[in-house]
Amino acid sequence: MESSTLPAEKFTPKELVTDQDVRWCPGCGDYSILKQAQTVIPDLGIPRENIVFISGIGCSSRFPYYMETYGMHSIHGRATAIASGLKASRPDLSIWIVTGDGDGLSIGGNHTIHLLRRNFNVNILLFNNEIYGLTKGQYSPTSEEGKVTKSTPMGSIDYPFNPVALCLGASATFVARSMDRDPKHLQAILKRANEHKGASFVEIYQNCNVFNDGAFEVFTEKSSKKNETLFMEHGKPLVFGENADKGIRLDGFTPVVVQIGNGVSANDLWIHDEKDRMKAGILSRFFDNPSKPDHLPRPFGVFYVEDRFCYEDKMQVQIDEMKAKRGEGDLDALLRGKETWTVA
Partner 1 sequence: MERQNEVLEKVIIKFAGDSGDGMQLTGTQFTNTAALFGNDLSTFPDFPAEIRAPQGTLAGVSGYQLHFGSVEIFTPGDHCDVLVAMNAAALKANLRNLRKGGTIIANTDGFDPKNLRLSGIEEKDNPLENGSLDNYRVIKIDITKMTRSALTDSGLGVKEIDRAKNMFVLGFLYWMYNRSMEHTEKFLTDKFGKKPEILKANLDVLRAGYNFGDTREEFTTRYTIGPASIAPGVYRNIMGNQAVALGLIAAAKKSGLPLFYGTYPITPASDILHELSRHKNFGVKTFQAEDEIAAICSTIGSSFGGSLAVTASSGPGIALKAEAIGLAIMLELPLVIINVQRGGPSTGLPTKTEQSDLMQAVYGRNGEAPMPVLAAATPSDCFHMVYEACRIALQSMTPVMFLSDGYIANGAEPWAFPSSSDLAEIKVKFAKEKNAGEKFLPYKRDERLSRPWAVPGTKGLEHRIGGIEKQHETGNISYDPANHEFMVHMRESKVEKLADYIPEITPEVGNAKGKLLILGWGSTFGAIKSAVIRARNKGYDVSHAHLRYIKPFPKNLGELLYAFDQVIIPEMNNGQLVRIIRDKFLIPAIPYNKIQGLPFSAEEIYAKIEETLK
d(CA 116, CA 122): 9
Nearer to partner 1, 78 or 181 (CB): 78
Closest CA to 286 of 188, 207, 199, 168: 168
Q: Is 50 in the site for partner 1 (CB under 8 A)?
A: yes
At closest approach, how far in Å is the CB of 192 from partner 1? 23
Choose the stretch contacting partner 1; rule: CB under 8 A; options: 24-32, 266-274, 301-309, 318-326. Answer: 318-326
Q: In a 10 Å sphere around its CB, with 0-12 CB exposed, 13-18 middle and 19+ buried, how is residue 12 labelled?
A: exposed
Q: Is 83 in the site for partner 1 (CB under 8 A)?
A: yes
Q: Is 46 in the site for partner 1 (CB under 8 A)?
A: no
Show Cβ contacts of residue 66 under 8 Å, excluding neighbours closer than 6 positions.
17, 18, 20, 22, 34
Show Cβ contacts of residue 206 under 8 Å, excluding neighbours closer than 6 positions.
28, 29, 30, 33, 60, 127, 128, 129, 179, 180, 216
At closest approach, how far in Å is the CB of 209 from partner 1? 23
Nearer to partner 1, 105 or 232 (CB): 105
d(CA 140, CA 152): 11
Q: Is 99 in the site for partner 1 (CB under 8 A)?
A: no
At closest approach, how far in Å is the CB of 95 from partner 1? 9
Nearer to partner 1, 252 or 337 (CB): 337
* Residue from the set 73, 226, 277, 285 that interacts with partner 1 by CB under 8 A: 73
Show Cβ contacts of residue 67 under 8 Å, excluding neighbours closer than 6 positions.
16, 18, 34, 37, 38, 51, 53
At closest approach, how far in Å is the CB of 69 from partner 1? 5
Q: Is 18 in the site for partner 1 (CB under 8 A)?
A: yes
Binding site for partner 1 (CB under 8 A): 1-4, 18, 20, 47-52, 54, 57, 64-65, 67-75, 78, 81-90, 92-93, 110-111, 114, 315, 318-319, 321-323, 325-329, 331-332, 334-337, 339-344
